[in-house]
Structure 1
Amino acid sequence: MRFRQHQGAAQTRTIQLMLWFGVLVVALTLAINLLLALVYKLVVPTGFGFPNLFFETNTAVVLLFVVGGAIVETQRLRAGGGARVAHWLGGVEVTDPDDALERRLLNVVDEMAIASAQPVPRVFVMRREDAINGFVAGWSADDLALTVTRGALERLNRAELQGLVAHEFGHIKEDDLPLSMRMLALVWGLSLIHGYGQTLMRPNQDGQVNPLAWLVGLVLTAAGWLGWLAGRILQAAISRQREFLADASAIQFTRTSDGLGNVLRKIWHDQKLLAGRMQHPAAEMVAAMLLHEPGQTHLLACHPRLSERIRRVCGTVLPPLPARLLREPVSEPRRPRATTAPEGALAAVNDGGLTWVSAGATTSATPASVQHDLIQAHSEGWSARLHADREALARLQRLQGPTEQRLLLLALMMDPANGAERRWWDVRSQELTHGARILDDVQALLPQHRMPEFERLTAQLAGAPIAQRRQVVHDARELLRADGRISPRDRLWWLTLRHRLNAQPGGAPLILPLTHHHEDISDLPEAERAYVAALSAYLARFIPMPERADGVHPASQVWYDQVMQRCGEDMADTVMPQPPDADGLVHALSAVQELGWVLRAILVKSWVEEAFNHSPQGLLSDETADALRMCACLLDTPLPPMLEAHYRATR
């Protein structure tokens, strides 16, 4: 097709789009006038006729919202171009990244630009999206922006990534982008009434809802739903056939159908597992621009069926293909840097960024400057660690499927240093395409965040069906005994898991504590003190302390002695008993759970305070803090402030 034919086809499609938009606006206006007329007659049944300018006012308001909103959004998109849409979806621009996967993306974009004879767009990555997807946006060659998800980078090989990028270049070549940008603005205008109504219905920051605002929002939502539906139909009608053409262009640019075909097969596999959905709330608005939009009915879908696209690309309907994380290391050359070093200069990092210094200046470095560099390097490493923790935590908290949540819970309970548990988990995680990513994200968490995440997840699962909870308990038992033994750590995790999954709705404890007349743990009778001693002896193995110089007491007994002295026991000739076995632990725990809630809180506080008193530099280890937190959970006792601060330090 020649240039003038391209222009003529683009103008024809734009005219058709505007005509359809006009028809939808007229239909929406008539529908809203009819709805409001019915509401008026229901509210004022004895009234004669309608108020003056009733229909004119309704029509003006609808046009103000729909047409005015579309005009305003069009101007915004023209000012920001494709980069505005990319930023809207959470995209981060990449120019000269250190990450090999992002460098591979830049190189593939350059290759497809050459193959398609199209300009090189700006490249963005949606780093919080695990789904396989991408889009290109812009009005002209000057403001093009190509965006892909992090999931596409991590789960597509190079040929498949070429297929995805080539599909987006197909949209550029066929001049689909101006039409897509106009359609985005028009759909935004059509759905404005619906979105505004939903906003009025939402509770405020205090969780309260204004009744009047909620009622107005309900009316606007009900009326605006027609506009939302009209916008979805408009997107579906315009977009479907353009996807077939872009698929054909991708095969032309890459000279193979395997790349794009495998991408579509992997997306299809994700859909069958109810995974791979984009999480950003604005993804639905730009559905027509995406490589594929999962989860929509065929009537409202902006893309053809995946089976039909695969049939046209591959010649037959091939089965879905699992999209696992890439395990082989990726090696990609960098794009040429924008700046080069002066002759005879070396790079140096300071507070202002990257600078160039004379090579001879490095020989006169003082110890103070070396120390500054080391401190800065450590600070940068810690900042990167915190960033990785936040990214991993955000991805984990978006997991909603039963299989995803079960694997996440097992990954949190697993000992990373236990090879047998890791091999067992790898086998079970094969049922989920992104199972390996879940484990990677768990291992990227800071140790202080594993236990809070475990509690958040078990709180959600406590309301799940009994069959689902039984499956979680069964899998956890198999995981913890994968190496043929149950360690003290494993047993504590196991008891905590069962306790939290058996909790009543609302967090009420299952065990009803008895009423005691004792005001402090120092007044406990001998029988109850014996149960406290057994439980403390078991917990003592999680309290790492430096050995005493006199060698009289083992390190764990120092903590045990101080705790039992608070319980009123004379420790002059007393030796810490052997930690109880599984049955003894459960028996002691059940007895301590029957203490009054005040006594249990005092006991947990004593454990925590003595642990701080006898820990090196007064800092708890992560294993000690987790053990104390699990014991507090098993006793249905709030965390003491000293222990809670351990988990707030990095938040």
Structure 2
Amino acid sequence: MNFFEHQDQARNNTRKLILLFALSLLFITVTVYLAAVVTLSGSSKGSKSRSSRYSSINCTQPRSAAGEPRVSTNFNEPAERFQSRNPNSVAVSPSLRVPCPPVTQKAAFSWWNPSLFFTIGTGTVVLVGLGSLYKIQTLKAGGSVVAQEMGGRLLLSEMAHPEERQLLNIVEEMAIAAGISVPAVYVMDGEQGINAFAAGFTPNDAVIGVTRGTLEQLSRDELQGVIGHEFSHILNGDMRLNIRLIGLLHGLLLIYITGRIIIGLRPRGKEGNAVLVFGIALAVIGSLGLLSGRLIKSAISRQREFLADASAVQFTRNPAGIAGALDKIANHHYSSIVRSPSAEGNSHLFFGSALRFNFLEELFATHPPLAQRIRRLDASKRQYAGQTPKFSSGESSAAGQESLTMGFAAGSSTVARSSPMQANAAQIVSQVGTVTPEHYAYAKALLGQLPETIALGIREPQGAIAIVYGLLLDTQNAAVRTKQLEWLKQVEPADVIERTLALSADIDALDPRSRLPLVDLTIPVLRQSDTDQHQRLFKCIQGLANADGRWSLSEFVLYAVLRHRLQPSSATSPQSTEFITIGQIWSDCLILLSGLAQVGQTGTDAITYAFRSGVHRLPGAGQEILPDAPPACNMKTLKHSIDRLNLATPKLKQAIVDACAHTVLLDNKVTVQEAELLRAIVILLDCPMPPFLNIGSKRVKA
């Protein structure tokens, strides 16, 4: 199952979640209605018994043939006159005339009361709905909300202890290998059990949370296995499903909370007994809602945990790591239990079972039994026995900027074609959303080879900003570089300029394939800034890119990826899918493939051939209008089309990525610039793309 199939499965699970939630809501509504009927019935019986004291008078008046008493109702009429007119009646003196209470029929008890059911149903749906909507709204800020709710502390690199620094290194390595921005890391200092979680809507706003016990009790290999498991949830779309599950099930918990409130606020005296009974009933029903929530989480989460375990093994090719972590949990009673009050609502997020079950654990547990998980990993140990990851770093080079004909600036040098890439389009598609041991080894090597100045710079705000500026400084044209620095001096303080110049030499010496990974390494620090600071950064990037009057390809890639990575911090919520057919986004696909063809080919015929080759890979291409020549595009139109394509279904995105890969790999050759543009496009489509490992290039004179 590839990344796109995982995304489709997550969408299907979302529909399953909504159906299960609706059934649980119906069950709770019916239960609340029955509790209300029983409560009202008991209250009615009590009032009838109290009124019976006033009907105990013995009415001895003679009755008519119909059986009804005949008494004088005119207190001013003499008794003799009334009796002469009514011989079968008894005249009662005014002081003794007490009319008998009317004789009423006893109302038959009924379990069905439509108006009451409507009232109860409406109230229950509104209460649960408002509770769920409120929780969903609070979660829109991303995974950081969940981490803080769980008592997590944001782990800052400059303040990290050795074991915390090790954790940050593993997360950075895994993120670079997966082609996503480095997630923020939170430590739950008050939790001594072994556990971890990943939370967020997309890889861009994902966070990793670990307990203090995880840091203190696991080895590096075991910690790496746990983090690999959590990265699987990030890459496979599980996080969005899990965070929606938190929001929906929060509404069910409100029934229990409401019952407790009613119990506490009930009136004193006999009148409050019915209220007390109803409050207790709501609390009990809320407990049923809690169990329903656990059943829903169990139905959705268990199989995903098996898949995440398998992915962690695939990422690291080291089954002993994650198996060792599970062994330590199994050998310590309740060693994965999370004590936080928020553990109940977030239990399905964790690596191991976060809750203690005293009964029916196999029914309500959100995770498979530890023995099953360990048994499957033991089988993987035999499969990977004796295997070690192999990594070929490829030829390192400093490449110039590709000459473009799509509205970007042409560099002062061109890039020669590299040796054929050892991959085809199908392999490119299959790599999306995965991590191989080769990619992981590449990431470790990249981090190990970073100059100390850059390694320190990515860990504090001013250094991260200086690195971004350093990546934008022109290395080929001294005049343009001078203009960039002059403009930068007008908008940034002197210490930022000085830091940028100090880092620029080391940045220029880096392999050009390191540019996007280096941008991703700066994201955790840049995310700590507010929206205004982000906007200031983007304006500065635009000013540096416009210093020569036009945007280069590398400038466009850096700006687009950085803005996309920081987008969740800029007050945007996850977008819903809008496009389900290729016809809805046909013109956007044409612009995208036209841009790729113009970057990778020279000459009108070669560009047109590459463009048409990519277009014919799109589903339903035969039913759409194909232009005679690739449409014109520039940075603005390309970015607009990518934004629209990001709203397509996972299956459509798979076809789009496949078409892009065919356009780039048509001649089995690819440059660093083509590869990075392809990676940037796929990243902007929210499809994590690992780095290309075997692309080499050499710079030649124009």
Pairwise TM-score range, normalised by the shorter structure: 0.3 to 0.5
What TM-score, normalized to structure 2?
Answer: 0.43
- Which protein, 1 or 2, shows the higher relative CO under an 8 Å CA cutoff with sep ≥ 6? 2
